[in-house]
Amino acid sequence: MKSHTPNRRLVDGGAVAVDLCSCGSIQLHLSSITLRIEVASFLQMVDVLNIARDRLVNQWKSGQHPMPHQRSEVA
């Protein structure tokens, strides 16, 4: 059985961390969930999440959607 021991922490953001595994994959830790992802899939996911983040921030700035923890006005 192949070992999947993280051997290098790439980033630790508290509830979110990313490790490079000894098998060559990425381990993405989201709170109590860990995903083992191929590097190419991880890079594609990062690109997609960056696009989603940009679109969400633009919607907040334009007032289309309230930011989290911000009450919208009731008509």
Domains of the chain, residue spans: 6-62
Residue-level pLDDT at 56: 87
d(CA 25, CA 35): 10
- The pLDDT tens digits of the residues spanning 33-49 come to 999 999 999 999 999 99
Residue-level pLDDT at 74: 41
d(CA 46, CA 49): 5
- The pLDDT tens digits of the residues spanning 1-58 come to 466 676 899 999 999 999 999 889 999 999 999 999 999 999 999 999 999 999 888 8
